[in-house]
Amino acid sequence: MKAAGQDDMTRLMAVMTAAFEPTWGEAWTRRQVEDSLLTGYCDYFLVSPEGKPVASGEQAAGFTLSRSVAGETELLLLAVDPQFRRRGLGALLVENLLHCARAKGESRIFLEMRRGNPAERLYRKIGFQPVGERPNYYRTTSGERIDAVTFALSI
């Protein structure tokens, strides 16, 4: 586990706020992120607008939050600030996670997304395939229910 410095958490939460539309209710609170990191199974990665690990004091353009348990990684959150989208940062963040999972000798990587999220195109391009669904799993702020779709990639 990487200890989440105050500075990193502030930068991560700035991307979280900018990236997730409130309608879907998908954004995590700072407390939820910090608690996940305290479990010892979760990790995060912050990318700069230039696609590098963020330097001290630099603005973050995107992040991943992931959990690694029993030889498998789960991508919990992927977000890129809208002002830095469609320049490959989302794909780069997922590729970075694959690289880390491979380095740990893991066999599979999972993620779950709300049905209809445009991120599906990105995940499929990288090679993720749907492996399951949870009907009506998500609830929007207006009360609408949306299925969750689970994707997996063998690495």
Ligand X SMILES: CC(C)(COP(=O)(O)OP(=O)(O)OC[C@H]1O[C@@H](n2cnc3c(N)ncnc32)[C@H](O)[C@@H]1OP(=O)(O)O)[C@@H](O)C(=O)NCCC(=O)NCCS
Which pairing describes strands 42-47 and 108-114: parallel, antiparallel, or unpaired? unpaired
Identify the sign of the CA torsion 32, 46, 24, 75.
Answer: negative
Say whether residue 19 binds ligand X (CB under 6 A): yes
| Residue 21 annotated as catalytic | no
Say whether residue 85 binds ligand X (CB under 6 A): yes
Of 32, 59, 117, 140, the one binding ligand X (CB under 6 A) is 117
Q: What are the φ and ψ backbone dihedral angles of 74, each rounded to 5 degrees? A: -115, 125
Say whether residue 16 binds ligand X (CB under 6 A): no
Whole-number Cα distances in Å, 31 to 27, 28, 36, 37, 39 = 12, 8, 8, 10, 13
Say whether residue 87 binds ligand X (CB under 6 A): yes
Say whether residue 47 binds ligand X (CB under 6 A): no
- Residue closer to ligand X (CB basis): 56 or 100: 100
Catalytic residues: 112, 123
